Amino acid sequence: MNQKTRQIVLNIARLAISAGLLGWIVSQAGLKDLVETAQNADPRPYFVALLLMHLGIFVRAQRWRVLLEAVGVRLPFRRLAYLYFVGAFFNAFLPTGFGGDVVRVLEARGEAASHEAAGTVIVDRLTGFIAVFALALVVLPFASGLLPASTAWLIALMGSGVIAGSVLLFEGKLLRRLTARLPRSLSLGGDAWVGQTYAVITACGRRAIARALFWSLVFAGMEITANILVARALGLGASPWLFFLFVPVAVASLVVPISISGLGVRENIFVFLLGQVGVLPPPALAFSLGSYSLDLAPGLVGGVIYFVAGFMGLRPKK
């Protein structure tokens, strides 16, 4: 089986997993109850949530801009916002929630070297993870009484692991020593593409990473607020503090490349987590789908922009 055929088979398998997981959780919640929950929702908080997530694209574009400028790459802000909208489109439809990051790297070719784009995109994503889990760790002592102890400890371990792993990656020296004996193509200290990309990651520097973390915290606040608004629209009744803990777990689930954009996986996670605080499956599933739509909506805007730009010949020539 060649590489192309293998990729097609894997994507079909991911699609089947998404459909299977989503079908199973809908059957457990009850389609009739799910539709009734959605029909009784208040659309006003939901539309405010949508606005926040569209504005969040520009916040994240500014975050990426900070990192690119730290390594000597300057792209117009409107170009970065365009790439983020396009990335949101591919994130919504490609396996895992990170397919759009690859597209951002590919689309930036000609304006930035591939290792510069890739390295800054990795830091860009990691600062986002650090921010949501840092907020979770800050809130956890005050909200842990709302959760079973095992769930609270799991969130604490996930948050600590994300932050510790990111610090290790940014530090650079230890990972370069650990990979020094690997083949040149895999060594983080080598001059191959992997080594060049890692050099960009460590070259961003503390000041740029601190500034990127600021914008990540701004976006994390917007994202969690948007999810709280979706919960309010549906009348969930769950404490707003819980979403500081649950949203990072759902975001982390996108790392696992077993479904299309985490669809099905995220829904089961939210139904499980919200079920632990007394939320019934129909509103919990409605919330999860509403949360997914917050990412989907900017992605659809990005898709329109991308295809219109291609049709009109406005994309930069590679």
Could you report the per-residue pLDDT of 154-182, keeping only the tens digit for each? 999 999 999 999 999 999 899 999 998 88
pLDDT higher than 90, residue 130: yes
Residue with tokens 């922009």: 305
Q: How many Å is the Cα radius of gyration of the chain?
A: 20
Averaged pLDDT for residues 9-16: 73
Give, rounded to a whole angstrom, the gap between the first and last alpha carbons of the chain.
Answer: 31
Residue 76 has a pLDDT of 93
For residue 4, what pLDDT band results from cuts at 50, 70 and 90?
low
pLDDT higher than 70, residue 142: yes
Domain boundaries, the chain: 3-311
Residue 8 has a pLDDT of 63
Structure confidence by residue, pLDDT tens digits, 190-199:
889 999 999 9
Q: Which ranges of the chain would DSSP assign to H, the alpha helix?
A: 3-29, 31-39, 43-70, 77-93, 99-107, 114-143, 149-171, 173-178, 193-203, 205-234, 241-252, 265-275, 281-311
Low-confidence winner among 43-47, 57-61, 218-222, 314-318 (lowest mean pLDDT): 314-318
Residue 11 has a pLDDT of 66
In this structure, what token pair is assigned to residue 186?
């895999």
Residue 72 Ramachandran class (φ > 0 left, ψ -120 to 50 alpha, else beta): left
Low-confidence winner among 121-125, 205-209, 280-284, 306-310 (lowest mean pLDDT): 306-310
Residue 313 has a pLDDT of 63
Q: HSE-up of 94 (CA within 13 Å, CB side)?
A: 17
Other Cβ atoms closer than 10 A to 277: 18
What angle (nearest 5°) sits at the alpha carbon of residue 102, between those of residues 97 and 107?
A: 130
b/e burial code for range 138-176 (CB count within 10 A of at least 16 → b): ebbeebbebbeeebbeebbebbeebbeebeebbebeebb
pLDDT higher than 60, residue 317: no
Structure confidence by residue, pLDDT tens digits, 232-277:
999 998 899 999 999 999 888 777 766 677 777 888 899 999 999 9
Averaged pLDDT for residues 54-73: 96
Cα 111 from Cα 108, distance rounded (Å):
6
Cβ(263)–Cβ(97) below 8 Å? no
For residue 289, what pLDDT band results from cuts at 50, 70 and 90?
very high
Low-confidence winner among 32-41, 45-54, 204-213 (lowest mean pLDDT): 32-41
Cβ(50)–Cβ(297) below 8 Å? yes
Residue 191 has a pLDDT of 84
Q: Which of 266, 237, 274 is nearest to 91 (CA)?
A: 266
Residue 3 has a pLDDT of 63
pLDDT higher than 70, residue 149: yes
Residue 13 has a pLDDT of 76
For residue 9, what pLDDT band results from cuts at 50, 70 and 90?
confident
pLDDT higher than 60, residue 62: yes
Q: HSE-up of 144 (CA within 13 Å, CB side)?
A: 14
Other Cβ atoms closer than 10 A to 122: 20
Residue 106 has a pLDDT of 87
**Of residues 313 and 273, more confidently modeled:** 273
3-class secondary structure, 277: coil
Residue 216 has a pLDDT of 97
Average pLDDT, the chain: 88
Cα 258 from Cα 269, distance rounded (Å):
14
Cβ(65)–Cβ(77) below 8 Å? yes
3-class secondary structure, 204: coil
